Amino acid sequence: MNNFVTLKKSRVLILCAAMLASFTACGNNEVNKGANAGASNSSESSTPNFDKKIKISWVGWSSPVNDKGEIVKEIEEKFNVDINMVDASDGAAFDVKIAAGEVPDVFPLDFSKYQKFIDDEIVGEIPYETIEKYAPNLYQAYQTEVPTYIDLTKIGDKNYGLVVPNPESGNFRPLVVWRGDWLKNVGITKVPESLSEFEDAMYKFTNNDPDKNGKKDTYGLSESMMQTVYGAYGYLPTSWTRRDGKLVYGAVQPEMKEALKVLAKWYKDGVLTPEFINGENKGGDWSIATDFVNGIIGVTSYADYLYWKPAQSAGDREGSNITEMRKTIPDAVDKLVYGKPIAGPDGKKGLNMRNSLQGRFIVFGKQVEKDLDKQARILSILDYSSSTYEGYMLTRYGKEGVHYNMKDGYPEAIAPYSDWNEIVKIGGGATFNNAIWLPSIIQKVNREYAWGKSLGTLQSDGIMNEVILPLPSASKYQAEIDKIRSEAYVDMITGKKTIDYFDTFVANWRAAGGSVLEEEAAAK
């Protein structure tokens, strides 16, 4: 009883102190916002003193999240907030709510809607000074880890969003995977690196029965490795890259004519599988390179490198393609060989390298713009969850021993939290860090990333699309010119049209709006 009373007393004292502090804080806020911010920043604790409980409506990267989830509660307690999780998984439903005036305080926004939402005054400004003040770690990480991207969120000299880096698959080119046993069976000892060596291997894969089953049922390559042929001539059809300093579209560069000639010949000779039109994945999980896994083609670069990761130790998680191959061609698994993009006649080479961004920015609703207290609170949550190791571990994986265990220095989720839906449900996954995954943190927790880095070669020989935010007129023309491009390319490869058609195609492409996009890109 005595204990209880003293406890109560101490609580009352704390409460009084808290109230006093909040009064002074409020006063400061009105008189001098900067001073308050400076004060909370200079204090030693990782979280500024947030004495007044405020409500925040929050959209995480994935949905649905339970308001009463364990991690949601942790964050609510730590930052003295009352969080209302908003489900924005369906774009159409979310748009209706936005139109009806229900703009959440924090939400991820597609690149394609970014400019529009700013013009419509749905999202508010997030000045860089504010980020620096309330999310100092994140600000620092932006400056040092993703400096090339931070200006993307600026419109004029105002900043409206936070960039979301994607270290896991961004800045990596696909891994080129060869069937080592096939190479051996057709008598090739050196993994092909030049176009002529590659062609030789492709013909042998097709004609010399590499799987030794006595039937001519194999092909050289499919859709993914066609890219390396384009790359060998310097461009990728769907990427904007620089030519003499100016951004140009790959598909209409004259060099592509040479690449198409090669592909058309391979198609005619049955080296390129006729199924290439349907892409390389044919059902099941999207990351599976179906033809390769079924032993129909001998080389692939389909899906990101991480889907090819072998187990690094007993019980380690394998990439989905390795898992699949264990079911279809188990003997080939240990004989996979990693190659490189193929070098063309002039030594050019490259495969598509993704930029290191997720396709969305994190933005704040317009109502937050004037509410400095809320801005500070949100930024502090993001700062804690994305750029401190402790915060990232909590908001991504949960609590050690409850939701995950450490194994060889990496976190391993405990079932059922290994399921993305389950961890998201309690507020983990990418709910509070909102997928702002910084390379410096990811390399400590992600085995796939560590493996990709260890290969050493995946961050070179890539061709990156330099148009990151859609061009202003893209929504108007892109669909139509993409159709023209893919039809023309397929027709020329399958021999339905001769290669001379290329010039007609370029003219059609430009006339259908391509020239407008070219001008817009050239101005960048």
Partner 1 sequence: MNRSSRIKKSIGEHVFDTFNVVLMILLCLTTIYPFLYLLSLSLSSGNISLTKIHLFPPEFSLANYESVLSYGYIKTGFMNSIMRVVLGTALELFFCLLTAYPLAKKYLPLRNSWTGIIVFTMFFSGGLIPSYILMRELHLMNSIWALVLPNLIPAFSMILIRNYIMSLPDSIEESAKIDGAGEFTILYKIIAPMVTPILATVALWSIVGHWNAWFDSLLYSTSPEKQVLQVVMRNIIQQGDVTLEAGATSTVLSGSVNPTTIKAATIMITSLPVIAIYPFLQKYFVKGIMVGSLKG
What distance in Å separates the CA atoms of residue 210 and residue 184, rounded to the nearest whole number?
8
> Which CB sits closer to partner 1, 319 or 339?
319
Among the listed residues 6, 41, 213, 418, the single contact to partner 1 using CB under 8 A: 418
**Shortest distance, CB of residue 62 to partner 1, whole angstroms?**
7
Residue 119, judged by CB atoms within 10 A of its CB (0-12, 13-18, 19+), counts as: exposed
200 touches partner 1 by CB under 8 A? no
φ/ψ bin of 283: left (φ > 0), alpha (ψ from -120 to 50), beta (otherwise): left
User: Using CB under 8 A, which of the segments 33-41, 97-105, 178-186, 207-215 binds partner 1?
Assistant: 97-105
**Shortest distance, CB of residue 168 to partner 1, whole angstroms?**
6
Angle between helices 223-232 and 255-268 (to 10 degrees): 140
SS3 readout for 14-76 = HHHHHHHHHHHHHHHHHHCHHHHHHHHHHCCCCCCCCCCCEEEEECCCCCCCCCCCHHHHHHH
- For residue 175, give the amino acid letter: L
Q: Which residues of 358-394 are buried (b: 16+ CB within 10 A; e: fewer)?
A: bebbbbbbbebbebbbbbbbbbbbbbbbbbbeebbbb
Token representation of residue 50: 């947030």
User: Using CB under 8 A, which of the segments 24-32, 181-189, 318-326, 481-489 binds partner 1?
Assistant: 318-326
The H or E element that residue 110 is part of is strand 106-110
Among the listed residues 90, 119, 120, 503, the single contact to partner 1 using CB under 8 A: 90
> Which CB sits closer to partner 1, 17 or 311?
311
CB 441 within 8 A of CB 387: yes
Residue 429 CB neighbour total at 10 angstroms: 24
**Shortest distance, CB of residue 327 to partner 1, whole angstroms?**
4
User: Using CB under 8 A, which of the segments 74-82, 132-140, 219-227, 429-437 binds partner 1?
Assistant: 429-437
Q: Which residues sit opposite 405 in a β-bridge? A: 412
Question: Given CA atoms 372, 374, 377, 382 in this order, what sign does their dihedral have?
Answer: negative
What distance in Å separates the CA atoms of residue 327 and residue 293, rounded to the nearest whole number?
9
Instruction: Show the binding pattern over residues 2-41: x = contacts partner 1 (CB under 8 A), - = does not.
Output: ----------------------------------------
> What Rg, from alpha-carbon coordinates, does the chain have?
27
Among the listed residues 181, 448, 461, 518, the single contact to partner 1 using CB under 8 A: 448
Distances (CA, A) of 157 to 134, 163, 479: 20, 16, 32
Among the listed residues 286, 345, 480, 503, the single contact to partner 1 using CB under 8 A: 286
Using DSSP, how many helices (H) and how many strands (E) does the chain show? 22, 16
Among the listed residues 70, 87, 132, 197, the single contact to partner 1 using CB under 8 A: 87
264 touches partner 1 by CB under 8 A? no
- For residue 345, give the amino acid letter: P
436 touches partner 1 by CB under 8 A? no
Taking alpha carbons only, the member of 103, 88, 175 closest to residue 360 is 88
What distance in Å separates the CA atoms of residue 111 and residue 279, rounded to the nearest whole number?
26
96 touches partner 1 by CB under 8 A? yes
306 touches partner 1 by CB under 8 A? yes
435 touches partner 1 by CB under 8 A? yes
64 touches partner 1 by CB under 8 A? yes
294 touches partner 1 by CB under 8 A? yes
402 touches partner 1 by CB under 8 A? no
- Residue count, binding to partner 1 (CB under 8 A): 56
What distance in Å separates the CA atoms of residue 523 and residue 514, rounded to the nearest whole number?
14
What distance in Å separates the CA atoms of residue 362 and residue 243, rounded to the nearest whole number?
33
Among the listed residues 156, 214, 245, 283, the single contact to partner 1 using CB under 8 A: 283
Among the listed residues 199, 304, 383, 461, the single contact to partner 1 using CB under 8 A: 304
**Shortest distance, CB of residue 434 to partner 1, whole angstroms?**
11
Instruction: Show the binding pattern over residues 322-341: x = contacts partner 1 (CB under 8 A), - = does not.
Output: -xx--xx-------------
**Shortest distance, CB of residue 390 to partner 1, whole angstroms?**
19
**Shortest distance, CB of residue 441 to partner 1, whole angstroms?**
13
Q: In the range 351-370, which residues lie near partner 1 by CB under 8 A?
A: 358
Q: In the range 140-179, which residues lie near partner 1 by CB under 8 A?
A: 168-169
Taking alpha carbons only, the member of 362, 432, 444, 414 closest to residue 78 is 432
Among the listed residues 33, 257, 265, 317, the single contact to partner 1 using CB under 8 A: 317
> Which CB sits closer to partner 1, 181 or 448?
448
Residues that bind partner 1 (CB under 8 A): 61-67, 86-87, 89-90, 92-93, 96-97, 99-100, 168-169, 282-288, 290, 293-294, 304, 306-307, 317-320, 323-324, 327-328, 358, 415, 418-423, 425, 429-430, 435, 437, 446-448
